Amino acid sequence: MIREFTLGEAWFLVEAVRWTVLLAALAFVGGSVMGLMIAVLRISKRPPLRAAAIVYIKVFQGTPLLMQLYLVYFGANLLGLQANAWLAAALGLTFYTSAFLGEIWRGCIQAVPRGQWDGAQALALGPLLGLRLVILPQALRIAIPPTVGFMVQVLKGTSLASIIGFTELTRAAQMVNNATFRPFIVYGLVALLYFLLCWPLSAYSRRLERQLDPVHLAPKKLAVQ
Amino acid sequence: MGYVFQFGTVWQEHDRLLLGAWLTLRLSAITMVLGLAVGILGAVGRSSRSRVVRAIVHGYVEAVRNTPFLVQLLLVYLGLPSLGLRLTPDQAALLAMVVNLGAYATEIVRAGIEAVPSGQIEAGRALGLRPHQIFRFVVLLPALRTVFPALGSQFILVMLASSVVSVISAEELTAVTDTIIARNFRSFEFYLVATGLYLAMSLAFQGVFALIDRILFHRWSTHT
């Protein structure tokens, strides 16, 4: 039976935004923690650690996010965990986010002048303490614009969770479309909702980048799909 | 637990998987060519004297960059028929990918064009070059050379994003993999191998682009 597309359906879509935002937030928090570890491993003095981080980044940046989600989804199943779209989507997006943030932040850490490391050493700070107290606070400043920019990629990436059955905005759109069969209105509205989430972040990231530009040479922002 | 991996079944299907990889390569290559063409047109439009043209291109770029590719794809495949444009899955996939890449390419090419010093253009004028010659030889080619690495990464990203078009059953590697899995239920094995094929393809593209960069662009710079 075909229903009309009414305000009720539109509101259902607007409400589904919260799952998209929640999933993106989970992925971003998890991805930040892991991403920082990847970035630190990536600049480690020990070649095996560095190599492991490089392989991790290459694999996650060189394969489709959809495949990563499938593998986590079916892989969890093999490990005896019940196939759970929530878990798979959050975990898969976390891995994906960590690889990109790890690489972005490595660039930011390495953009801090070498003299600062020497300074930290002169203050008798060990490598980890020097990283935390001297390097990271300075790297943070240049890391903010590309990081905010990447949040847009995470938000857009959550749409793929709909394919493994996680009900967020895109999946809600499929449900509404199946009931009303008004694809142009449904997906048009959904595109608008994504745009309203992403565009302010994009604009904010660009503004921050411009503010920083004369002071620092910000690392080239990765143009991601 | 106690799951037994069966990669033997994967080997039985290797010819179909390779065919899928070939379809992905072909779809991506066509997208790259057309997307770059759209990007060049877009970059030209972005520096147009007409405010309307600039606004339209700007709107296109922002709309594409701030919405997910999956939604763009579904809008093209499911939404366009209600405007009277009915496309096959393969056509819809190609159109959505070109529209998507075109927006990113517009931004990248524009950055390259903006990096061309205005003195070069004046020099071109002083040499008596016609406007279209100036655009082609003084602005566009050096701009493309500057941004080629960024274009290359974007090309690879669009190749990876192409796996999403399997949701409308367009013919490529992920769709082929899905079809195989629907018959033998060996999801993990087949997705793992497909992932490996994607990784191999993105590394191959990286290598090819590095080679093009070296041969095509750096040889030019030593000659000129």
User: What residue spans define the domains of chain B?
Assistant: 14-218
Q: How far is A147 from chain B, CA to nearest CA, in Å?
A: 15
- When the pLDDT of each residue in chain A is averaged and rounded to a whole number, the result is 91
pLDDT of residue B8: 80
Q: Could you give the CA distance from residue B216 to residue A55 in angstroms, rounded to a whole number?
A: 29
Please name the amino acid found at residue B168: I
B163 with A225: Cβ contact below 8 A: no
pLDDT of residue B2: 63
- Other Cβ atoms closer than 10 A to B157: 22
A64 with B108: Cβ contact below 8 A: no
The answer on pLDDT for A97 being more than 90 is yes
- When the pLDDT of each residue in chain B is averaged and rounded to a whole number, the result is 92
Mutate to test the interface with B, among A58, A60, A61, A70 (most CBs of B within 10 A): A70
Residues 137-166 of A with CB under 8 A from B: 152, 156-160, 162-163
The answer on pLDDT for B149 being more than 70 is yes
> Tell me, what's the ipTM?
0.91
- pTM, rounded to two decimals: 0.91
Q: How many CA atoms lie within 13 A of A111 on its CB side?
A: 19
Instruction: Give the pLDDT confidence of B57-116 residue by residue, as tens digits.
Output: 999 999 999 999 999 999 999 999 988 899 999 999 999 999 999 999 999 999 999 999
pLDDT of residue B217: 77
Domain B14-218 homologous superfamily, CATH: MetI-like (1.10.3720.10)
All domains in chain A, ordered by first residue: 7-212 (1.10.3720.10)
Q: With an 8 Å Cβ cutoff, is A59 touching chain B?
A: yes
The answer on pLDDT for A136 being more than 80 is yes
Q: Could you give the CA distance from residue A11 to residue A13 in angstroms, rounded to a whole number?
A: 5
- Other Cβ atoms closer than 10 A to A54: 15
Residue in A closest to B100 by C-alpha:
A225
Mean pLDDT of A107-116: 93
Residue with the bigger pLDDT between A64 and B47: it is: A64
Mean pLDDT of A180-190: 94
